Amino acid sequence: MNNDIQKNKLQILGNLFASLTHEIRNPLSVLKMNIDLIRDYQKDENEDIGDLLETSSEAILRIEKIIAHTLDFLRDNPDSYEYCSVNDIVSNSLDFIIPKAKKEGINIYTFLSSDIPKIKVVKNQIEQVLINLLTNSLEASEKGKIIQVRTNFDSENKKVNITITDDGIGIKNEHKDIVLNQFFTTKEGGNGLGLHVCKEIIDKHKGNLTFESEFEKGTTFCVSFSNYKV
Ligand SMILES: Nc1ncnc2c1ncn2[C@@H]1O[C@H](COP(=O)(O)OP(=O)(O)O)[C@@H](O)[C@H]1O
Ligand SMILES: [Mg+2]
């Protein structure tokens, strides 16, 4: 596809998203208010239903946060950058992914270094990046496979790194130059936007997104940041 057309498509998507999210916010808040009301009404009747309503309400909160942060991102609001613990960001993303991994029989192991300076980021966006990368790893893995998540501070190269390694299907050599392109997908029903959005977010943070992969062996994605405070 012609590069200009692709850029234009993304611009249109961006505008569409901004107006769409604006429209979604109102019915979403009605939904959340009603769920909270129903939960209060029936809280002594059935604990299971109470729990379901509670997680539904939390899910709506998360959607609201994503919308708010994405709108900030589209406007590139500098106020949304703050110093954050990389391990907290990883844990938040894992909370989101672990139930799915469990359901699919895939184990996730974490190796989080305790000695890491805080990085200056838009927290929610980096969580979104990790959720995208972890989702790809899950989708590349069959039951019984393992995903490893690591954090470390490389003081020599002055970088805070997060790596996600899977032993899934891997990326074919001929695809390595194009996997980050928007709309590239090898999945039925895939949209090919996940990695492109990851790259855009990491570029805005002046970080690096790299990967190594061997077809039918596995893949490691690495996100690194040099904007940190010791
Ligand atoms: N961990 C991974 N293992 C194998 N292939 C991957 C992995 N992550 C990404 N890919 C490849 O990159 C493509 C693009 O990924 P992405 O941009 O997230 O879009 P989608 O997930 O919708 O296909 C995938 O279709 C897949 O071919
Ligand atoms: Mg994806």
Give how far the C-alpha of residue 170 lies from the chain's centroid of Cα atoms, to the nearest Å: 20
Q: What's the rounded mean pLDDT across residues 130-138? A: 96
Query: Is ligand 1 within 6 A of the CB of residue 194?
Result: yes
Domain extent for 193:
81-229
Write the DSSP string, 133-156.
HHHHHHHH--TT-EEEEEEEEETT
Tokens read off for 9:
């498509």
pTM: 0.76
CATH number of the domain within which 217 lies: 3.30.565.10
In percent, how much of the chain has pLDDT > 90?
Answer: 59
Write the DSSP string, 8-33.
HHHHHHHHHHHHHHHHHHHHHHHHHH
pLDDT in tens, 99-110: 999 999 999 999
Only one residue has tokens 């990491």, namely 202
CA distance 9 to 124: 25
Ligand index nearest the alpha carbon of residue 198:
1
How many domains does the chain divide into?
Answer: 2
Residues lying with their CB under 5 A of ligand 2, a single-atom ion: 136, 194
β-strand partners of 120: 83
Per-residue pLDDT at 227:
95
Above 90 in pLDDT, residue 8?
A: no
Q: Is 129 within 8 Å of 202 (Cβ atoms)?
A: yes
Q: Which of 23-27, 43-47, 59-63, 76-80 has the lowest mean pLDDT?
A: 76-80
Domain boundary among 58, 78, 98: 78
Q: Is 107 helix (H, G, I), strand (E, B) or coil?
A: strand
107 phi and psi, to 5 degrees? -90, 140
* 146 and 44 in a common domain: no
* 147 and 95 in a common domain: yes
Tokens read off for 38:
């129903």
CA distance 67 to 26: 12
* 89 and 74 in a common domain: no
Above 60 in pLDDT, residue 1?
A: no
Per-residue pLDDT at 6:
63
CA distance 198 to 136: 12
Nearest atom of ligand 1 to the alpha carbon of 170: 4
In percent, how much of the chain has pLDDT > 70?
Answer: 92
161 CA → ligand 2 middle, Å:
21
Q: Using CA atoms in the order 188, 181, 20, 122, what is the torsion angle rounded to 10 degrees? A: 120
* 105 and 68 in a common domain: no
Domain boundary among 43, 62, 78: 78
130 pLDDT tier (thresholds 50, 70, 90):
very high
205 phi and psi, to 5 degrees? -85, 5
In this structure, which residue's CA is closest to atom 27 in ligand 1? Answer: 186
With the most atoms of ligand 1 within 8 angstroms of its CB, the residue from 106, 136, 172, 193 to mutate is 136
pLDDT in tens, 15-44: 777 778 778 888 888 999 999 999 888 878
